Amino acid sequence: MSAPRLAALLMAAGSGSRFGAPTAKQFLPLAGRPVLRHAAERLAAGCDLLLPVGDAAPIAAALAGIAHLPPVAGGATRQDSVRRGLDALLPYAPDLVMVHDGCRPFFPATTITELRRAVEQVEGAIPAVPVSETLKRSGDGRIGATVSREGLYRAQTPQMFHFALLHRLHHSAAQGATDDAAILEAAGHAVALVPGSEDNVKLTYPEDFVRLERILGAALLPRVGTGFDVHVLERGRRLMLCGVEVPHEFGLAGHSDADVGIHALCDAIYGALAEGDIGRHFPPSEMTWKDADSARFLAHAAARIAARGGVLANADVTLVCERPKITPHAAAMIARLATLLQVPQSRLSVKATTTERLGFTGRMEGIAAQAAVMILLPAAD
């Protein structure tokens, strides 16, 4: 007898207003990949059908390469969004359905197996963690009462149900349910608890993001890379340094825009990834890169970090020149690099030094740059 057909709804329609970021939290990069992608990979490994619910364009970008049904637009509330997803699954007639928050990227691999086992006996099952802290009810900023934690659990997702039952109940349930298990409870159906995980964190506030990075960091190993580049100064060219045009009577000569800061940083990233150097990826013999904006090179390097499941822990760029002065432009350079690398500015440093008028930089014949980066990569990589 074949196993029951399992579908999964991946809920990604929320705006994430409590998180306070301009991008919805489920699409923020975590270890180089969108939070939503982490969740989708775990669901896809254990289900037959994956249906995202939310805006189609960002979902398609986040889940590129992962097999899934066409996304369904969300509703005014989470409950409305789930109902729309269930309606879209109806033609596929799954036996079971999971509902999972797209902002929970790390549920254990064993959770789906345990949920399947539980719904053989009851109509629904959810992962949950026992409440361990003492609970207080507040009144006017003061303790109003101490609440017994005996028998209390924190509910998590994915939650699993018999599809036909959940679909029917969603069309008759009153609004206001905070999760899908509550809809079954209100209708008098049994819902089982299976062990949840403290690592199954729901990304709600900025501090949750820090916690998720720490969880992921335990499985990552540091890789260090260094880079060096130098270009000759030439009259009549723009001077581009770390993605910023710096006013100066000379620019740097080169096949591309000759941005030594970005070139050194790219080489450091490729080195940490053991993927050669910038010339391997963008050969100067190819006219495609003639006078090219070096921002394209750094965006490619950032994409390689993401493709390897890595995280840029930090990067440090040192520009070596007598003139122009770099300090007045350093903040703009850091901001530009942070945008291209899609990391917080706090992870980047741009500074300058001179050679005390010694050598080609001291004679103002050229500008050099060196860079060092630390990248965290999965231990198995």
Residue 210: the pLDDT is 82
User: How many domains is the chain built from?
Assistant: 2
173: Cα separation from own chain's centroid: 34
Contact 8, 66 (CB under 8 A): no
Could you tell me the sign of the dihedral formed by the alpha carbons of 16, 22, 26, 28, in that order?
negative
Give the domain range for residue 144. Answer: 6-217
Q: What string of pLDDT tens digits covers the 381 residues of the chain?
A: 567 899 999 999 876 555 555 678 898 888 767 899 999 999 999 999 999 999 999 999 999 889 999 999 999 999 999 999 999 999 999 999 999 999 999 898 899 999 999 999 999 999 999 999 999 988 788 898 999 999 999 999 999 999 999 999 999 988 888 899 999 999 999 999 999 999 999 998 888 888 887 777 666 789 999 999 999 999 989 999 999 999 999 989 888 899 999 999 999 999 999 999 998 988 887 878 787 899 999 999 998 988 787 889 999 999 999 999 999 999 999 999 999 998 889 999 999 999 999 999 999 999 999 999 999 887 765
Mark whether 227 and 212 lie in a shared domain: no
From residue 92, give the alpha-carbon distance in Å to each of 96, 97, 112, 372.
11, 11, 20, 52
Mark whether 241 and 131 lie in a shared domain: no
Mark whether 164 and 262 lie in a shared domain: no
Point out the domain boundary residue: 217, 251, 271: 217
In a domain, 1, yes or no: no
Q: What is the DSSP string of 125-187?
A: EEEEEE--SPEEEEETTEEEEEEP-TT-EEE-S-EEEEHHHHHHHHTTPPTT-SSHHHHHHHT
143: β partners: 138
- Residue 169 burial (CB count, 10 A): 21
CATH code of the domain containing 191: 3.90.550.10
CA gap 312, 204 in Å, rounded: 23
Mark whether 202 and 264 lie in a shared domain: no
Mark whether 191 and 250 lie in a shared domain: no
The structure's pTM equals 0.62
